[in-house]
Structure 1
Amino acid sequence: MRGLVNPFKPTAGAEPPVLVGRDKVLEDFADGLAEGPGARGRLMRITGPRGSGKTVLLTELGDMARDEGWEIIDETARAGLCERIARAALEKPSAELSLDVHLGLADFHMEKGGAEGATLREALSQKAGELTRQRRGLLITLDEVQDADIGEMKELAAVVQHLIREKANIAFVFAGLTMGVLDLINGKALTFLRRALPEELAEIPLDEIAAAYRETIERSGLLIDDEALSVAAEATVGYAYLIQLVGYQVWRAGKAHADQSLVITEEDALIGIREAMGEFGDAVHEAAVADLPLRALEYLLAMTQDEGVSATAVIAERLQVSPTSLTSYRRLLIQRQVIEQTARGYVKFSIPYMGEYLVANRETLLARYGR
């Protein structure tokens, strides 16, 4: 039926029609904007596994700040980070800028177009100073922080800390894989970033997902019956990316018969879920294991023999090696958030349906290593 547009956005980083289960993060950030310079919600770290919605949240926080008149610099942690932020800060100055001495933000004067060669501290001090005088602010969001260069993160953290101390209207929100972010901020000279408000993205409650599904689907022009709604919500297991992917495919299956019926049935839901799982395997599971060392892949395959939690000692027995010889591989898998430690000596998969994917694709995966 013409006129019906799929409301779900499973593209990585795309902003969904309904942001489910993240109210606390949004409220903490809103409080930070309202409470003024130095508020805790203005320095925040968002962590979670792949597909948990970190990038989407950064986009939403940027929209919130923009609605309050703030300017936003969105960046991803790759080489040249500080240079790009400095350039973005001074790229389009609105007028000749001079800074209030009483703010202590800078003691220089820069004409429009004079950004070339400015240090990160000079650039952010100038931009933050101008916006602070206007009762506005500057938000910097940084994604994929686990990949950041330690030297650049030290420089950026030092400048942000300086501006916060000088009561500038600045906020800094950074996001990344949990273990990678923790490893980074626990390093030397990054003590300041450990003070960031921690926001770990846990699984989203299924009742909230079901309610969001019904609201989104009905607003788009279709309907969904209770059985289909329950099956679809349960298939997501509370995982943010799967919420969008399952929703997209289930809605698509329902639209296929919209000329006869606008109601999405349980059969539609099962068809959509099957399509979604295939796409999830390609987009998430494959990306997680694509470049692993053979022993790390064998570690994961050994875990598939267990229901839920695996004992590391048992995994070593299955692979016929000593537990200590697997320590580096286990650490690698934890850092990448393919698995997580549940207790001392026990691990489980971090990514939904990873075990099923590995079992179904075992021969293909091992063939890459000549096995």
Structure 2
Amino acid sequence: MVANPFRPTFGISPSVVAGRKSILLHVEYALRAGVGSAERFSLVSGLRGSGKTVFLNEAEATAKRVGWEVVQASASKSMIDKLEQTALPELLRRIDPSGTAVKIKQINIGRLGSVGIDSTEKYEVKHDLQSMLQYACEILTASNSGVFITMDEVQSASPEQLRQLSEAIQHVARKNLNIALCFAGLPHEINVLLEHPGTTFLRRAVPLYCEELSDDDVAETLQATANLGDKTFTPDALARATQLCHGYAYLIQLIGSVAWLLAETNEITTETVDAGVPLIIERMGTQVHIPALRSVPERELEFLVAMAQQKAEITFNAVVESMGKPANQLSTYRRRLINRGLIKPVRHGVLDFTIPFMREHIRAHLHRYQP
């Protein structure tokens, strides 16, 4: 039996990657451009489910293809310890053939017995993040390679740990050695993180954004992935599925997966796609909407609920009327929700939700979000 080729799971690269060719070319260009290229330090942001982790996976594959070594830094309180005790020692063992030292403790000289040799370093060097990273980059730069450091969910990292990593990276960069980084995270949380004094270096990173995918990229990915599972979308079904995706990377995998499962033949029809919509909205709720709304303050949630309950086009004036509060106060909530990436201005006075199906989710779960 052929396995479902779609992978609606966060952090796992899909069978067919949609779009992102231009920003992946940015990464490849930066690594090939030579020491001193500002583009070697990039900060990728995007909505939850927009494909940031998949992009990092592809960026790492690109780095390996051009001969660079990849080091993954975990966005945790133990990031520095993991780099010093595991990631960098493993890298150095792999790239440094002279890394193993043999110390002779005793020499046997036939009948004369043995002579012991014991020595102590007067100025013993303690290897830390900076020294190991520099040594690795020296070895790799000599062979026209380098170290490519990646980090996902950068907003979850400790600012102090980021400061230490940034200082080590800057130290190596000043020595004209091949080093690059690509960090990814949620837009609003990244902006908050960059306000911290310890993240000055990241403010100079080149910003990249995982934007909505084009309909052509979505349709091509849906069809190519379905074909890997010996099924195909009819033209009408492909158009309908593409419309439902709204250019959102995660929905390509989710809608494709559900449609592929529901199709009883090797042909995916419009009826099959539409039959899966309730399940798609439910899965989006548990996987995307609930996590995205978890930290939103109560007053801003009230604003979202008022938006969701509008019967047609969402206007700011209609929200003001339904909430019965001063427009200047609600303008503050609107601005904060835009900064969080949860809503967007469509045109003057008109708003919409940024993440697909969030309106439907809130409507179906008013008990969860109403005070």
Fold similarity call, TM over 0.5: yes
Contact 1:97 / 1:126 at 8 angstroms: preserved in 2? no
Choose 177-186 or 245-254, whichever is displaced more: 177-186
Post-superposition offset of 1:280: 1.0
1:275 alignment partner in structure 2: 279
Match of 1:122 in 2: 131
- Counterpart CA distance in 1 for 2:242 and 2:56 is 24
Secondary structure, counterpart of 1:199 in structure 2: strand
| Aligned equivalents of 2:346, 2:134: Cα separation in 1 | 44
- More displaced stretch, 319-328 vs 282-291: 319-328
Q: CA shift at 1:142, angstroms? A: 1.0
- Equivalent AA in structure 2 for residue 135 of structure 1: N
SS in 2 for 1:135: coil
Over 3 Å counting, the alpha-carbon distance change for 1:217 and 1:310 in structure 2 is same
Equivalent residue, structure 2, for 1:35: 33
Question: Is 1:356 matched up with 2:360?
Answer: yes
The range that moved more, 19-28 or 356-365, is 356-365
Q: What displacement does 1:57 show?
A: 0.6
In 2, Cα distance between equivalents of 1:348 and 1:145:
27
Q: What pairs with 1:151-166 in structure 2 (closer than 5 Å)? A: 151-166=160-175
Q: Which residue of 2 aligns with 1:266?
A: 270
Deviation of the 1:20 alpha carbon: 1.2
2:88 corresponds to which residue? 89
Which of 62, 66, 70 aligns to 2:60? It is 62
Work out which of the residue numbers 178, 184, 209 in structure 2 matches 1:175: 184
Superposed displacement of residue 186, structure 1 = 4.7
> What is the CA-CA distance between 1:325 and the residue it aligns to?
5.3
Gaps in structure 2 of 5+ consecutive residues: 101-123
Aligned to 2:11: 13
- Which one-letter code corresponds to 1:71 in the other structure? E
Q: What is the root-mean-square deviation of aligned Cα atoms in Å? A: 2.9
Aligned residues: 344
Query: Among the aligned pairs, what percent are the same residue?
Result: 33
1:137-286 counterparts in 2 under 5 A?
A: 137-188=146-197, 190-254=199-263, 257-258=264-265, 262-286=266-290
Q: For 1:130, give the aligned amino acid.
A: I
Mapped partners of 2:315, 2:129: distance in 1 = 47
- 1:278-357 equivalence runs, <5 A: 278-306=282-310, 307=312, 310-311=315-316, 315-322=319-326, 333-334=337-338, 336-340=340-344, 348-357=352-361
Larger CA deviation: 135-144 vs 328-337: 328-337
* Cα-to-partner distance string for 1:14-33 (whole Å, 9 max, x where unaligned): 10122212111111111112
- 1:342 shift after superposition: 6.5
Give the superposition deviation at 1:317: 5.0
Distance in 2 (CA, whole Å) between partners of 1:329 and 1:213 is 37
Following superposition, the deviation at residue 293 of structure 1 comes to: 3.7
In structure 2, do the counterparts of structure 1 residues 292 and 194 end up closer, same or farther at CA, with 3 Å as the change threshold?
closer
TM-score (norm 1): 0.82
Would you say the 8 A contact 1:7–1:217 is kept in 2? Answer: yes
Provide closer, same or farther for how the CA distance between residues 348 and 250 of structure 1 changes in structure 2, counting only shifts above 3 A: same
2-side partners of 1:161 and 1:319: how far apart? 50
Runs (5+) with no aligned partner, structure 1: 99-113
Q: Is the 8 A contact 1:86 1:124 kept in 2?
A: no
Q: Distance in 2 between matches of 1:60 and 1:76?
A: 17
TM superposition score normalised by structure 2:
0.82
* SS of corresponding position for 2:67: coil
The answer to whether the 8 Å contact 1:180/1:335 transfers is no
Q: CA deviation at 1:205?
A: 0.8
Which residue does 2:121 correspond to in 1? none
DSSP 3-state at the match of 1:93: helix
Q: CA separation in 1, counterparts of 2:345 and 2:334?
A: 9
Write the distance in 2 (CA, Å) between the matches of 1:146 and 1:331.
21
Structure 2: which amino acid aligns with 1:57?
Answer: F
Q: Which of 329-338 and 193-202 deviates more?
A: 329-338
User: Which structure would you say has the larger Rg?
Assistant: 2
Q: What is the CA deviation profile of residues 194-238 of structure 1, one whole-angstrom value per residue up to 9, with x for unaligned ones?
A: 332221111111122112222222233112210111111110000
Distance 2:367 2:133 in 1: 53
